Chains A and B, each alone.
Chain A
Amino acid sequence: MQFEYFRPQSMNEALRFLADHKKEAMILAGGTDVINGLRTGKQAAKYLVDIGHLADMKGIHPADDGLFIGALAKVRDIERSPLLVDGWRVIAQAAGTLASAQIRNLATIGGNICNASPSADMAPALLVLDSMAEIAGIEERHRVPLDQFFKGPGKTILAPGQILIGFHVGRQLPNTAGYYIKRGVRRAMDCAIVGVAALASTSDGHLSKVRIALGAVAPTPFRAYKAEQFILEQGDLDQTTISKAARIASEACRPIDDVRSRAWYRRRMVEVETNRALGWVAKELKWGEG
């Protein structure tokens, strides 16, 4: 592990440096993935650009259209944020499932997403909230729906020289409930074997929104659109609909065999956990209770 360390004083300075050293530079934020990558030789960089202190990428802030979560927001702060309640609570809840207290104190939400692990715990929660990723380059800034952000394991749409600034999470309807289930070998530390986030909103007693996102069961975290569509068509969150939707979700995944689980088990668990997550959401929304 050998590199030069550079700490830009502003976002502009960071972007300029990255633009000048495109493929030789790597961004350091919380460091919990980067340091391991560099030490094991899986990753290499001539320059490590430490953006960890850039104030405009930190924290969770109310915005006109909902919330802005800075890419440098610590997973621990997200877990305990008083802003992440009601429809947004699923983000805080997912944050609490990530690794250990020590790692959550260091890791950033932006790092979890940019590392683009298929099992990244923050991804399904952000996906069910239709989050937009804000990306900055030297001369441009734009927003991209998060479900277009991932390109494969470890791969994102970020071009060399670009920085993920944060996430815009829209306001949710008053009757919204979301839940993230992480199935792993252990309850803590380990990566998810399967991660499922489910979210639904009701208005005037009707289902107005359904979202299901899956982690660790395809090359990228993804939305289970067909299962969502099925529930909306049925207009119901009763057990029969939930069970069928869970089956449809499990058919949408493309899991692999690896050290944590066989593919068939992952697929089976997608069905089980989607069932549970939707069941939790239905209960929270008091669906079917008159």
Chain B
Amino acid sequence: MKHAIELTINGKCYQIEVEPEERLLDVLRDRLGLIGAKEGCSTGDCGACTVLMNGQAVTSCMILAVAVDGADITTIEGLEKDGEIHPLQKAFIEEGAVQCGYCTPGMILSALALLKENPEPSDDEIRRALAGNLCRCTGYTRIIAAVKAGAERMKNHG
């Protein structure tokens, strides 16, 4: 049986009918074409599917869409503002924190959730916040540098 749900995604309201077994990740990617969230492990271990739900980082592969009726979701596509990418995204590019890019949307959203709570995190706090996001090519050193640079940029640009 299908269920009617309503989700606010990147500030836009969507009314969707979902099967009970459809995950938030399936709805984002397959129904709405928001393919920024990636499917990696499908078991909540790799963090490639990370999105923000009501401001908090969550693994969208472990969430049934029907169970989060009414939620406010931010995906990587929602960070762009007036045609400009987010200061944190710019920092990832400038610091060379992106290689294949598969982990990047999840990394950036986990980092964004951290920076909203803690605008000046230490290296350890960044590592801890990103512990659920695996990168298999770039390496973590540049990613941590990018989060620090992003924190600076966000302070200056809001």
Contacts and interface: CB of A to CB of B under 8 A. Distances in A.
A101 B64 contact: no
**Range class of the B interface residue count:** 20 to 34
Contacts of A101: 57, 110, 113-114, 128-129, 131-132
A99 B59 CA distance: 12
A28 to B, nearest CB: 7
A52 B132 contact: no
Interface-central residue, A31, A48, A50, A100, by most chain B CB under 10 Å? A100
B62 A4 contact: no
B56 interface: yes
Contacts of B44: 32, 36, 99-100, 102-103
Interface-central residue, B58, B61, B114, by most chain A CB under 10 Å? B58
Interface in A33-68: 35-36, 38-39, 48, 50, 52
A7 B66 CA distance: 10
A1 B42 CA distance: 14
Nearest to A35: B62
B116 interface: no
Contacts of B89: none
A110 to B, nearest CB: 16
**Range class of the A interface residue count:** 20 to 34
Contacts of B110: 101-102
A103 B59 contact: yes
A186 B132 CA distance: 11
Interface string B113-148: 110000000000000110111000000000000000
A119 B96 CA distance: 38
A156 B86 CA distance: 48
A270 B131 CA distance: 25
Contact of A189 (B50, B56, B61, B132): B132
B69 to A, nearest CB: 8
Interface in B34-48: 42-45, 47
B40 to A, nearest CB: 12
A5 B110 CA distance: 29
B90 interface: no
Contacts of B58: 102, 105-106
B101 interface: no
Contacts of A32: 44, 62
B63 interface: yes
Nearest to B132: A100
A83 interface: no
B1 interface: yes
Contact of A31 (B3, B57, B67, B128): B67
Contacts of A1: 21
B43 A106 contact: no
Given A2-B21, A4-B20, A102-B47, A188 B62 contact: no
A105 B45 contact: no
Contacts of A188: 128, 131-132
Nearest to B50: A102
B23 interface: yes
A109 to B, nearest CB: 17
Contacts of B63: 31, 35, 106
Given A1-B21, A2-B21, A189-B131, A105 B67 contact: no
12 contacts: A3-B20, A5-B1, A5-B66, A31-B63, A35-B23, A35-B64, A50-B66, A101-B131, A102-B44, A105-B57, A106-B62, A187-B131
The 7 A-B pairs with the shortest beta carbon distances in the complex, nearest first, are A100-B132, A188-B131, A5-B20, A105-B56, A102-B59, A102-B132, A1-B21
Given A103-B59, A106-B59, 9 more contacts: A5-B20, A7-B67, A31-B63, A35-B61, A38-B21, A48-B20, A101-B132, A105-B58, A189-B132
